[in-house]
Structure 1
Amino acid sequence: MSRILVAATPVSGHHAPLLRIASHLAQAGHEVVFLGGARFAEEVRAAGPEFRALPAEADYDDRDFSARFPERETIPAGPAQIMWDIMHVFGDPTAAQCRALKDVLADFPATAVIHDNLFLGGLTLALAEEKGHRPTGFSVGITPLSVESRDTAPHGLGLLPPADDAQREQYAAIAARMAEMREPLVDHLRACFAAAGATLPEGPLGRNLIGAADVFVQLTVEGFEYARSDMPANVRFVGAIPIPAAAGQEQPAWWPELLRAREEGRRIVVTTQGTLANTDLARLVIPTVRVLADRPDVLVVAATGRPDAADQFAAALPAVPGNAIVAGFVPFSALLPLADVLVTNGGYGGTQAALGHGVPLVLGGDTEDKPEVAARVEWTGTGVNLRTAAPSDEALRAAVDTVLDSPSYRERATALAKEYAAHDALATIDALVRASDR
């Protein structure tokens, strides 16, 4: 068995898949230490691995981003905010992350370090020393693959792959302008890497950040990602990590209502804004409930993930419609198999989970990687891309109707679900780690 150090950026969408990997490896008999955000300490210990906390310079509470990153609120959503996030949310902690990894490795000589793809301290560790003199580095892609390629559009804009040579030339011009705009970002990351004792290689940033790892594990299937004739050799598609059923978790009180609706032949529409961009439910969740309020053939389940959901609904609607359930915690592993469509802002993990169950989507998001997720859903034919985080009521209702009434979306999602089912992401990662330790 191996000694494995797993590290995660202290953001729920990054922490959760890395903890599931760490827990699986611990249960498989490996000795595992998990380096992560302090607020997750008890959750990590309950899952099996030993916990070590990130230093304060690299730790924060993602439930209140404005407390740690007040300037972020002034940056408009889209490419500008993505660039700011990479510089400051993910770039600035790099040196502190690298020091923390080295501190753990000093008394826990792991043979493998596994981290999410935006835990950049893990990449500096890999770049600073030759392979054979350090642990094998595994970077886990929990966001859409960002490898630059002539076969894809410039990353971050939510554009579909080029249809012909003319569009390739158009995209090349856009990429050149974006590269110029991103020079401050690259310079900033060079300084962050240098502070950690590593050199960020010259060349395309996305390709370098992926290529720095010995193995880049992408948490999806090939059918959900754009084909690239120049795909880096270290990329492995392993499928999605399933959302586990909570042990001993009781079903919510409204569950019988959901089952009755299903038995009556009503369609189940689930809506969520994920775990990070869910501060203002009036962007997508509340509008979904509102525009479907007159549909007796539909039951809407609003999976808010927020303790103040009732207050937000009370401020926006006279009353919760009779065909809607407003919930905080929702057992997605049990809910998704009953869903006919998921209306979401497009978090990567949630989208993978939906497609793994063959559930088509309606997506409306403009923060982080959400435009890229939505573009891939559009490209695969598994849902409707609203191309905005604040759709009109008419556009939102039309999109839901389109997915519910057009069998092709469910058919494409079902076909993709079969591809997900052919993979066992956790077992594959375990096998890759064991192979690297030989």
Structure 2
Amino acid sequence: MAEILIAGLSATGHISPLLAVAGSLVHRGDRVTVLTSPRHKSKVTALGARLYSLPPDADLADGQVDEHPRRADLSGLRKLNFDLTEFFVGPMPRQAAILNELFAQNDFDAVIVDSAFFGILPFLLSPRAHVPPVLAFTPMPLMIASRDTGPAGLGMLPAAGSLGRLRNRSLTKFSHSVLLGPTHRAANRRLDAMNAPRLPVFVLDAGLLADRYIVPTVPAFDYPRSDLPAQVHYVGAVHPLPARSFHLPPWWQELGGGRPVIHVTQGTVDNADLSRLLEPTIEALRGEDVTVVATTGGRAVTDIKMPLPSNTYVSEYIPHDLLLTKVDVMVSNGGYGGVQRALCAGVPLVVAGDTEDKPEVAARVGWSGAGINLRTGTPSSRALRNAITAVLHTPHYRNSARNLQTAFAQRDGVAEIALLLDEVIAERRTRVRL
């Protein structure tokens, strides 16, 4: 039996997979403490784990990004730097203080931490003798620098050969120093203020400082890297726990009527303005011989400010493990978890996202052949109709999605994380004996 700490931001895409890991570890007999928002207390205790509350000033919650008043007028790289600095770098000192309390009160055998939980960085940068092994779990695509890929955050496809590597090296250097330099410098200023060492790597590569860097996908849905660090481990998808008490909407039986089902969602982040993707998709398919299922990611259905066509049904939320078995094409703004849920079900995609990590997710969908990347976060209804029609009627997209479905089915992400956990615990015990 091991004593495990799991630390995660409370936004759905960050904490949901970590709760699935927590449940599995409890089931095998480990004692698990989950550091996250108290609003998840019932979920944590239902798993048999212990909650340690993460206060709002150290957290990132659903809706917090969209509702920040200083963010509304930003776009592009300014918005990306603002998001990274405000929501991930900013809470670092408070998170670190809470971790320090936990480490003083408990003798943890290992820590699994959301890679966006930057409060772990001072501990990774300091002498590790009194810090338990750390496994960083990324809720986003792997975005570490590589000679085989372009710089992270821009949604660039990889370029091969000597010229491609020259391009990658030059653009990555420019990105680290200029484009995303403000975020990196902000992280070092925070570390300076905490009397912690500065980052020896770029801030988006900081997960590499952990004993293991867990990537919850399959290599087939990521770019090949000939210089992949040894501590990086692809484990397969890690999904939220299955729905147990969801009440199906009264129109559910309409999804078995023989018409193609198109599901559109803006997820739980970047869904404040449903006119960016939800409404244009509904309009694009008005009068088409399809059934549209739109979910608002928890926002009120009345936030949709347009008349709903007769072929469209709307809900605030429908668990993907129930819905995706009935879906033919999913339209998404590129939330990593939702996209991977679709691919695990063999559902091809149309992706339109330009905030947070969404350009990177969208680029991987297009690169893998499992869908179309519209390369914008505000597509027109015409562009959406054309892309959805292409994905629906071109076998290539469905076949590529099904190939990824097979690749995902061959991995058990939660079980592989447990094995990595056992490895780092055994390594630590061996060092202590020596």
TM-score range, shorter chain: over 0.9
Contact 2:33-2:49 within 8 A present in 1 as well: yes
User: 1-side partners of 2:15 and 2:22: how far apart?
Assistant: 10
Residue 286 (str. 1) matches residue 286 (str. 2): no
Change (3 A) 1:332 1:203: closer
Match of 1:301 in 2: 293
Match of 1:401 in 2: 389
Structure 2 counterpart of 1:118, which letter?
A
Cα offset, 1:277, TM superposition: 1.0
Cα offset, 1:37, TM superposition: 1.7
Cα offset, 1:88, TM superposition: 1.7
Structure 2 counterpart of 1:222, which letter?
P
Contact 1:4-1:112 within 8 A present in 2 as well: yes
Match of 1:45 in 2: 45
Moved more, 266-275 or 104-113: 104-113
Match of 1:378 in 2: 366
User: 2-side partners of 1:203 and 1:436: how far apart?
Assistant: 22
Structure 2 counterpart of 1:416, which letter?
L
Cα offset, 1:365, TM superposition: 0.7
Contact 2:148-2:160 within 8 A present in 1 as well: no
Query: After superposition, what is the alpha-carbon deviation per residue over 1:353-382, rounded to whole angstroms, capped at 9, x for unaligned?
Result: 111111110000111000000000111000
User: 1-side partners of 2:370 and 2:248: how far apart?
Assistant: 29
Contact 1:243-1:332 within 8 A present in 2 as well: no
The counterpart of 2:196, out of the listed 195, 198, 219, is 198
Moved more, 166-175 or 186-195: 166-175
User: 1-side partners of 2:348 and 2:134: how far apart?
Assistant: 35
Moved more, 35-44 or 348-357: 35-44
Structure 1 counterpart of 2:93, which letter?
A
Structure 2 counterpart of 1:75, which letter?
L
Match of 1:237 in 2: 234
Secondary structure of 1:129 counterpart:
coil
User: 1-side partners of 2:335 and 2:269: how far apart?
Assistant: 9
Match of 1:5 in 2: 5
Contact 1:37-1:60 within 8 A present in 2 as well: no
User: 1-side partners of 2:186 and 2:208: how far apart?
Assistant: 19
Work out the number of aligned pairs and report it. 425
Match of 1:268 in 2: 261
Cα offset, 1:163, TM superposition: 4.4
Secondary structure of 1:419 counterpart:
helix
The counterpart of 2:219, out of the listed 213, 222, 245, is 222
Residue 95 (str. 1) matches residue 87 (str. 2): no
Residue 316 (str. 1) matches residue 306 (str. 2): yes
User: 2-side partners of 1:325 and 1:352: how far apart?
Assistant: 23
Cα offset, 1:407, TM superposition: 0.3
User: 1-side partners of 2:172 and 2:80: how far apart?
Assistant: 16
Change (3 A) 1:178 1:268: same
Match of 1:169 in 2: 166
Change (3 A) 1:98 1:401: same
Match of 2:35 in 1: 35
Structure 2 counterpart of 1:115, which letter?
V
Match of 1:142 in 2: 139
Structure 1 residue runs of 5 or longer lacking an equivalent are none
Contact 1:363-1:383 within 8 A present in 2 as well: yes
Structure 1 counterpart of 2:235, which letter?
V
Change (3 A) 1:169 1:307: closer
Change (3 A) 1:332 1:124: same
Cα offset, 1:164, TM superposition: 4.4
Cα offset, 1:47, TM superposition: 2.8
Structure 1 counterpart of 2:182, which letter?
P
User: 1-side partners of 2:190 and 2:38: how far apart?
Assistant: 23
Change (3 A) 1:61 1:144: closer
User: 2-side partners of 1:286 and 1:372: how far apart?
Assistant: 23
Query: After superposition, what is the alpha-carbon deviation per residue over 1:11-41, rounded to whole angstroms, capped at 9, x for unaligned?
Result: 2211111222112211221100011123222
Change (3 A) 1:161 1:270: same
User: 2-side partners of 1:56 and 1:281: how far apart?
Assistant: 26
Query: After superposition, what is the alpha-carbon deviation per residue over 1:403-422, rounded to whole angstroms, capped at 9, x for unaligned?
Result: 00100101011011111011
User: 1-side partners of 2:141 and 2:383: how far apart?
Assistant: 26
Cα offset, 1:234, TM superposition: 0.3
The counterpart of 2:247, out of the listed 246, 250, 264, is 250
RMSD: 1.8
Contact 2:60-2:87 within 8 A present in 1 as well: no
Change (3 A) 1:71 1:172: same
User: 2-side partners of 1:242 and 1:178: how far apart?
Assistant: 32
Query: After superposition, what is the alpha-carbon deviation per residue over 1:301-323, rounded to whole angstroms, capped at 9, x for unaligned?
Result: 102123422x233x323xx2111
Structure 1 counterpart of 2:79, which letter?
Q
Change (3 A) 1:73 1:39: farther
Residue 210 (str. 1) matches residue 202 (str. 2): no
Cα offset, 1:198, TM superposition: 2.9
Secondary structure of 1:133 counterpart:
coil
Cα offset, 1:155, TM superposition: 1.1
Contact 2:7-2:114 within 8 A present in 1 as well: yes
Match of 2:106 in 1: 108
Change (3 A) 1:358 1:60: closer
Structure 2 residue runs of 5 or longer lacking an equivalent are 427-434
